[in-house]
Chain A
């Protein structure tokens, strides 16, 4: 964690370019003052990102290209579990069986762990409440959602990104 990481100039340039393009697309105004402010903001963001260790967690490009497939799967999960949670909430007897599930993640990179934790939180019915090294503590609303977690499918999908 504490090992200093020096960002490659190419990485810095790429981020600056992306930031500048986003600024121009967002503002749509090409006055010198606004472009100057934009440049200042982009450089400030670049410096902050470098300071935060943003580049240490940089994702390989191949993994980034595989992201849409993961998102598609997460989207399907979100729809499924949303309907389930809505059904539970609107049932008069409120049939919840809250519980905790402890998962051991095999993700080695911080990026992989964040994606795993966030994907779990994103689907209603499961919320990641603690993450310590490779242990995840997840709160589940129903027993079904806990069962879904234990199947470890999210883990497998994320491993497919090939982050490490």
Chain B
């Protein structure tokens, strides 16, 4: 019984993770210029990562594999934004200005 519930829950997580990967892909195609496309990529990087790894942890149950999965997820969540920053900053440094609809805001 518990097994079935966990299985269903895990599949829901995995499928919604897949949905966010798909949405990220569609976003990368639909959005205009470089900087807005980064936002689509971060959808895949964060939300999809969390959902898919949670789904896999439920499949693995209480085991060393789960600990490893959680650790890999944390590594990904710590390094992905750093990589995004490196990418975006490189674009900015090489002179690609983001298209901005609004004025530049000062906080």
Which A residues form the contact surface with B (CB < 8 A)? 25-26, 28, 75, 78-79, 82, 85-86, 89-90, 94, 96-104, 117-119, 121-131, 137, 139, 141, 143, 146, 149-150, 152
Contacts and interface: CB of A to CB of B under 8 A. Distances in A.
Interface string B61-78: 000100110000000011
A98 B47 contact: no
A69 B102 CA distance: 34
A150 B107 contact: yes
Given A118-B78, A127-B42, 12 more contacts: A25-B68, A85-B40, A85-B43, A89-B30, A94-B31, A96-B36, A97-B102, A98-B98, A101-B105, A102-B105, A123-B42, A124-B42
A26 B98 contact: no
Contact of A129 (B20, B26, B89): B89
A25 B107 contact: no
Interface of B: 20, 23, 26-27, 30-31, 35-36, 38-40, 42-43, 46-47, 50, 64, 67-68, 77-78, 80-82, 84-85, 88-89, 91-92, 98-107
Contacts of B40: 85, 89
A79 to B, nearest CB: 7
A82 B39 CA distance: 10
A128 B36 contact: no
